[in-house]
């Protein structure tokens, strides 16, 4: 989906993917960087519909405590 021009002009632009990933990692909410087709820079979005979001890895799962018969 192409970013609308009005949305592109209102959003913060990041020149590199690393800059966008760093900004997303330091945010207080979950954000995902993407490359804008209009300006060719990177923006951040909170939308995840249709995107694969990695599940967090847990050291201890509920089945780890149970002994095998």
Give pLDDT, residue 48. 74
Distance CA 32, CA 21 (A): 8
Give pLDDT, residue 64. 53
Give pLDDT, residue 24. 93
Model pTM above 0.75 = no
Residues 6+ apart with CB under 8 A from 22: none
Give pLDDT, residue 54. 62
Mean pLDDT (10-residue bins), the chain, 69 residues: 83 94 92 92 86 62 55
Give pLDDT, residue 25. 93
Distance CA 8, CA 2 (A): 10
Domain ranges across the chain:
11-49
Is 30 in contact with 22 (CB distance < 8 Å)?
no
């Amino acid at each position: 989906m192409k970013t609308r021009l009005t949305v592109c002009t209102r959003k913060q632009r990041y020149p590199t993917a690393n800059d966008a990933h760093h900004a997303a990692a330091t945010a207080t909410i979950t954000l995902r960087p993407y490359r804008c087709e209009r300006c060719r820079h990177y923006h951040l979005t909170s939308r995840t519909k249709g995107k694969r979001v990695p599940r967090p890895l847990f050291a201890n799962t509920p089945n780890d405590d149970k002994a095998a018969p």
